Amino acid sequence: MPGLFTDAVEKALKGFDPEGAGYDEVTAEELRRLAPLPAMSKPARPGRKDYEEVVYTDPKTGETSFEAWVWHPQTEKEEGGWYAHGSSRDPRTGMLLKGRKHETWDKLVAGEAASNNVIYKDPKTGRYFSAHKQPAQPTRKKIFKGEDK
């Protein structure tokens, strides 16, 4: 038990490692405060057997919460039920909140690709970001004689 506190302090002092296996809890906590998931929005029914996600949208503002309700089927390790699950991306900046060695990094990459996003690394900060792919611009062909000016 004493090591848990020490580990938590050490982790907080080091900060998030974009190449590591962690999750950027500092940014996630800020986003939870800015776009909370109301407890009353938790579905009262069981989810589908394999996977289901329910995103809360504020009826007054149209804004979605940072977290979503995700159905976890019962396993030997965990009781089945709805759990609040944070996003992998900061919606304000596109910054990714999981490190590259995170156990679900591959799911993050697949989800970004399915959303037509591309992941890139900012050379200044070392952080990974996701942005919507821009459609390829058609190359301009010379149509008229003398148009090479």
pLDDT tens readout for residues 15-24: 899 999 999 9
- The pLDDT assigned to 136 comes to 67
- The pLDDT assigned to 66 comes to 95
pLDDT-based confidence at 73, cuts 50/70/90? Answer: confident
Same domain, 111 and 127: yes
Same domain, 77 and 128: no
Domain that holds residue 120: 88-135
How far apart CA 117 and CA 20 sit, in angstroms, is 22
Q: Is residue 103 part of a domain?
A: yes
Number of domains in the chain: 2
- The pLDDT assigned to 43 comes to 93
Least confident of 22-31, 63-72, 114-123, 130-139: 130-139
pLDDT at 147 over 80: no
Closest CA to 55 of 35, 73, 27: 35
- The pLDDT assigned to 21 comes to 97
Same domain, 76 and 41: yes
Q: How far is CA 102 from the centre of its chain?
A: 12
pLDDT-based confidence at 135, cuts 50/70/90? Answer: confident
Tens of pLDDT along 26-70? 999 999 999 999 999 999 998 987 789 999 999 999 999 999 999
pLDDT at 84 over 90: yes
**The model's pTM:** 0.76
